[in-house]
Structure 1
């Protein structure tokens, strides 16, 4: 049975929730990054006030201000600096490319972008920034910090001692952040999450899984992705855990070396990155971890087997979420972990399944709850937030829920093909390729077919892939033959997004271009 969620625990703005956490857990070290200069709650609050006042001097109340930074103490300070003075952070995906970033800036109505010269130089984003300068002003945090003088520091000391007197008061239902969906199935959409949404989702997770304040949460995921922002930053800070931020999930060896050094207790990552970490890690690199949370994409059995055979654990808890739900919807529990499912839906959420023609098991998942977004924004009118029709969020996912509430993802509604009158899950078809070649990455898309309606195409980085082994596996495991792709497209690398999720938009374009050639 799901635990109840007390509405009073999330009925406060996010900066107030940070202050409440300091009052509850004491002035302990709470934030650190690769530079190894930890901040206490008070240090974070002071820094947010000092930087926030600088930003407030060049912006208006409730203005949306873009943030172009990697996971770091700096991005966390900047996020709370904006909230201290009632500005709205717009987290930009620096891996999305010029066109998507310009579209995001227009959609959100952004005038200024906060970034750091060191990051732009190290990430080799100079040309991108030059292009973004044509649509918004770049404000260098390096310059703002250099302008901080003694009066600013004295202000920070005073504000840090009495933060509720100095912070700009906001409503819990005021915007907390603007994020953009990953775009793995189409153009990214602007999502407005309220401050209540963010605080509520952190409370839902900590109600579902007991998190000990002495733990350290290691976050290598970007804060432009809701998993990295809520799970890697807001959840630990509001729950009394130190949040260790690392700027890129791609640095597998550095990350696995750091985990025992910082005594990491919980690691957030996607399956793609977890698989990479397991391959380069030393025997004791995961020894301090209580558990790993895997989200944003399906956790493969091959990844679990790799952790179990090589390290004897730690347990991987697969979860499920959506940007529109702030993002965590369901997650397994350390004591009730069922691989193959994404766990149980979090406290405080209601759900229903709508039948889908042609699909017998499960249905389309719709959600309600305090973590469900305020609405979408569009470039036509950036200030207008389009609320959810009927009050229920349509996730677009086909799921099955068993008698004990465990959720199994069957696939995206868009990720089904109709072949010879039968609905076929493209996610399940990918599972055939994964079962036959577990060490490679695979993706399946569909294209129109004059005879059967649609045809499956496997895109894989396995140069030796052939149809016959998949057909044999399907026959042996009772899978219909129509679920076996009839075409294989071999590539050097299967495209992925900056979050590690498969980039189906790019893959679909590749397949269609190959077909037209």
Structure 2
């Protein structure tokens, strides 16, 4: 705060509260009774919000979302999954993240649902009882937090949910099974999005929940796959629709809109004929090992299937002989390459996707949203490499 006060005025809400007088209260009451008369003028193309991308793979970018982008994404989501205004939505996610903003604030606001906003997803023991007490029908969260809430739950505290919507990171089989076995089959609907798409691009459906996929492309969106050299069975996903951003905000204050409205997601995916999407990996999350393209996401999934109760991250580093090599960061103390090789052989997985170097850490670095912080892990790998040299 001391540093911020040299360049900005810091206002505390408790100080504002003391200054709220009768005139302010009368204005608020009148505006609540006659919202259209007091509404601020706005156009669909006006800036609704500027959000920064998570920065899990590189420097965050400033994304400008227009009012129409945000409204369109709510309408697309509500059109795909029927929303009952009598439901209660429980949102522990931060609203500086697009998932928490659109799913946790705008969706209930514009569909008439009640919503319980909790300030931090990190309060693992406090949240399950509140989910039950609030009679929540929907929970928004990431795989990491869903798994923790299920383990911390005392009894049937999540059993009253109609479904859980998960985004921002891949949902593990362990999480699906844990929720199913402990809470009477509550479905975990994995979705997929990007801040630049306000953010929801695809989501599974309560009546058609296909594990391993991130769901169906939302109504009103177009998609195309661009071939990627060395990768078969999928391509780089580009999407276009009313929810796609106005553009990136450049440092000089100008906008960089997506070319012809097409957003390059940077993700390698496969799509079925009915537009159900499976993520194969980020374009940046492929390594060229011995001349072959290897998905780092697939390598992580291989390790995760062996040790599902731990967290793992696989990155690639330059290798003078093979071009690149895979390095596993894990919080499992007894992790060994031989065990991974044997597991890969039992599954018929290619040994080229097995990380041979393992770095054991107390915990895998994550961002505030629960996503793996690959930028920090890459730095740790560079430090480890210098030590080895």
What does residue 187 of structure 2 align with? 315
2:94 is the counterpart of 1:222? yes
- Equivalent-residue separation in structure 2 for 1:284 and 1:478 (angstroms): 39
2:357 is the counterpart of 1:504? no
Is contact 2:241–2:261 with CA below 8 Å preserved after alignment? Answer: no
Is contact 2:244–2:261 with CA below 8 Å preserved after alignment? Answer: no
Which of 303, 307, 321 pairs up with 1:437?
307
Alignment of 1:78-477 (within 5 A): 129-379=1-251, 381-382=252-253, 384-477=254-347
2:154 is paired with a residue of what secondary structure? coil
- Equivalent-residue separation in structure 1 for 2:66 and 2:13 (angstroms): 25
2:45 is paired with a residue of what secondary structure? coil
Is there any run of 5+ residues in structure 2 with no aligned partner, and where? none
- Equivalent-residue separation in structure 2 for 1:470 and 1:452 (angstroms): 20
- Equivalent-residue separation in structure 2 for 1:303 and 1:329 (angstroms): 22
- Equivalent-residue separation in structure 2 for 1:162 and 1:305 (angstroms): 48
What does residue 77 of structure 1 align with? none
Q: Deviations over 1:450-472 (max 9, x none)?
A: 00100000000001000011101
What does residue 34 of structure 1 align with? none
Q: Deviations over 1:90-120 (max 9, x none)?
A: xxxxxxxxxxxxxxxxxxxxxxxxxxxxxxx
Is there any run of 5+ residues in structure 1 with no aligned partner, and where? 1-128
Question: Which segment drifts farther, 312-321 or 213-222?
Answer: 312-321
Alignment of 1:12-31 (within 5 A): none
1:296 is paired with a residue of what secondary structure? coil
Q: CA deviation at 1:145?
A: 2.3
Q: Deviations over 1:155-175 (max 9, x none)?
A: 222222222222220101100
Q: CA deviation at 1:143?
A: 2.0
- Equivalent-residue separation in structure 2 for 1:377 and 1:132 (angstroms): 23
Is contact 2:98–2:199 with CA below 8 Å preserved after alignment? Answer: yes
Q: Please list every run of at least 4 consecutive aligned residues from structure 1 whose deviation after the TM superposition is greater than 6 angstroms.
A: none
- Equivalent-residue separation in structure 2 for 1:459 and 1:150 (angstroms): 58
Q: Deviations over 1:423-469 (max 9, x none)?
A: 11100000111011111000000000000100000000001000011
- Equivalent-residue separation in structure 2 for 1:386 and 1:139 (angstroms): 32
* Aligned length, in residue pairs: 387
- Equivalent-residue separation in structure 1 for 2:272 and 2:4 (angstroms): 48
Q: Deviations over 1:380-436 (max 9, x none)?
A: x13x22111232100000000012221000000000000011111100000111011
1:459 is paired with a residue of what secondary structure? strand
Q: Deviations over 1:19-65 (max 9, x none)?
A: xxxxxxxxxxxxxxxxxxxxxxxxxxxxxxxxxxxxxxxxxxxxxxx
- Equivalent-residue separation in structure 2 for 1:192 and 1:349 (angstroms): 19
Q: CA deviation at 1:133?
A: 2.2
Which of 490, 499, 511 pairs up with 2:360?
490
Question: TM-score under structure 1 normalisation?
Answer: 0.74
Structure holding more helix per residue: 1
- Equivalent-residue separation in structure 1 for 2:329 and 2:21 (angstroms): 56
